[in-house]
Amino acid sequence: MKQITITLLSMTLLVLTACQPKATLVHQTDEPFRSVYHHSPAQFWMNDPNGMFYDEASQLWHLYYQHNPFGTTWGPMHWAHATSSDLVHWEQHPIALEPDSIGTIFSGSIVIDRHNTAGFGENAIVAIFTQSEVCGQHQSIAYSLDGGMTFTKYAGNPVLKGNIADFRDPKVTWDELAGKWIMTLACQQEIRFYSSADLKSWDYESSFGTGLGAHGGVWECPELLKLQVTDAQSQMATEKYVLLVSINPGGPFGGSATQYFVGEWNGHCFTCTDTPDETKWLDYGKDNYSTFTWHNAPEGRIVSLGWMSNWQYAEVLPTVTFRSQNTIARELSLYTDDAGAYRVRVIPSPEFMALKGAKAHRLADVAIVELTLSGTESSVVTLSNDKGEKVMMNLDVHRRTFSMDRTASGDCSFSTEFAAHTTTPLFVKQDTYRVILFIDHCSIEAFDANGYWAMTNLVFPSEPYNKVEVEGGNATIYDVNI
Ligand code: FRU
């Protein structure tokens, strides 16, 4: 057994002097668990990311999100707004959408209406969102003629009235096959598809989900994506449709999680054609929910963001002036695993890989650790601090699993659901496994470097972890950046 220990503090000087800084992180600290390179609300409560779109004129990534401007727990939902030029640094803007007599503002999406189908103007930014009230949930729209900074609600709202309790989270895209706008909508434990020529009048197309996937809770935040898969031998790229569906509760480790289905879409209905008996998860940790992708991302990129929390304990996390942060942005595509099944490939967005070598204002502000672990001998990777708090990760080559144990990671006292051990199968056997860890003040995101799995877990250590140890498996820690 070989043991490697690296004390991050001593590596720091080495790395900072050896690397040319690529970016300077502006520290927005106000409390110890404020994330440094993850988006979090300036203050108060946040849940799902909403209405994300990229504006090519200003080269800004727009992010709206579920927000309660009156407190640090869930409440009357608004859409708050932030923009970024690099997905790492965010500027907070005034609230974009406020509740009205139709209801509070729940999750939804944004499209750029290039051909003025809705009549609000060419290239109008149109938001489609749920309004929730005591008697039900309805879909409404609003438009912006100033690049997404301010919105006017459509006078004819709601555009799709619901008469059931859970009828929400419209994600709209222009669909070439249908020649119309298609809306995916979560309705109790199924997904419904609606179509429209003008974003104002919507027709029911089909439903999906009965008897498929996980049904331990309500289905939320769906999105239909067209993803590419490249054949390893021929290098030929083909496309498949993937339906993302968040579920709460009913996730693999309790509480909320995002499942997905791989199949075909014909402009009217979605069919799960790939291993329909298996439930597939986008992330094998406890803290990645309501993943959506950016509309109009440059160069055809499929860039996603998830809310880095879990409804089991999101409202009692030990932060004071704000609650919640989002994951780092991740690029999605498809691969085929060793059994021939399609799976979503999840890779950290290049903007985050570029943080390696970033100049931090404080030690332990940015930590990205890359490891190469043996494919024939198991390894245990431990992150720890001087208080003895630790997170243990185990790559088990015999069981073919990677797991993360946060039961001794720091403060777990705020919820009995928090102390957890999460596991992912290693879907593709490799000669060596390269693992990338993104560590921020209260989170660890672990990725297989080839994108075969991702695992996101929150942690609340009483001081930052400053040591990485690897036991077994001929490990090489070949990059540590702080
Ligand atoms: C998911 C969700 C959505 C809903 C929003 C309300 O986290 O429950 O279904 O639109 O949060 O804040």
Q: Taking 90 as the threshold, does the pLDDT of residue 6 lie above it?
A: no
**Both structure tokens of 76:** 């009357």
CA proximity to 201, closest of 222, 180, 217: 180
Task: Measure 18 CA to ligand 1 centroid, in angstroms.
Answer: 45
* Residue of 169, 184, 288 to mutate, ligand 1, most atoms within 8 A of C-beta: 169
Task: Measure 183 CA to ligand 1 centroid, in angstroms.
Answer: 17
Q: Taking 80 as the threshold, does the pLDDT of residue 277 lie above it?
A: yes
Query: What residues does 35 pair with on adjacent strands?
Result: none
- In whole angstroms, give the CA distance from residue 325 to residue 229: 30
Kindly provide the residue ranges of all beta strands, DSSP E only, lying in 155-302, ordered along the sequence: 167-175, 180-187, 190-196, 203-208, 218-230, 237-248, 257-265, 270-272, 280-281, 289-293
Active-site hit among 30, 48, 175, 283 = 48
Confidence of residue 420 (pLDDT cuts 50, 70, 90): very high
Whether this model's pTM surpasses 0.85 = yes
Q: Give CA 336 to chain center in angstroms.
A: 22
**Both structure tokens of 36:** 């440094």
Q: Taking 80 as the threshold, does the pLDDT of residue 359 lie above it?
A: no
Task: Measure 261 CA to ligand 1 centroid, in angstroms.
Answer: 20
* Residue of 47, 133, 288, 313 to mutate, ligand 1, most atoms within 8 A of C-beta: 47
The per-residue pLDDT of the chain, averaged, comes to: 91
Q: Is 48 noted as a catalytic residue in this protein? A: yes
Residues 373-406: tens digit of each pLDDT: 999 999 999 999 999 999 999 999 999 999 999 9
Confidence of residue 365 (pLDDT cuts 50, 70, 90): low
DSSP letters for 112-137: EETT-TTSS-TTEEEEEEEEEETTEE
Mean pLDDT for 173-189 is 97
- In whole angstroms, give the CA distance from residue 344 to residue 74: 31
Residue 97 phi/psi, 5-degree rounding, is -135, 130
At residue 21, the pLDDT reads 30
Mean pLDDT for 251-267 is 98
Ligand 1: residues within 6 Å at CB?
A: 47-48, 66, 77, 106-107, 130, 168-169, 220-221, 290
**Both structure tokens of 282:** 């986008």
* Residue of 66, 131, 139 to mutate, ligand 1, most atoms within 8 A of C-beta: 66
Task: Measure 368 CA to ligand 1 centroid, in angstroms.
Answer: 31
Residue nearest to atom 12 of ligand 1 (CA): 106
- In whole angstroms, give the CA distance from residue 282 to residue 349: 16
At residue 5, the pLDDT reads 53
Q: What is the DSSP letter of 393?
A: E
Q: Taking 50 as the threshold, does the pLDDT of residue 205 lie above it?
A: yes
Q: Taking 60 as the threshold, does the pLDDT of residue 32 lie above it?
A: yes
Q: Which atom of ligand 1 is nearest to the CA of 74?
A: 12
Task: Measure 318 CA to ligand 1 centroid, in angstroms.
Answer: 22
Residue type, 399: R
Residue 204 phi/psi, 5-degree rounding, is -70, 135
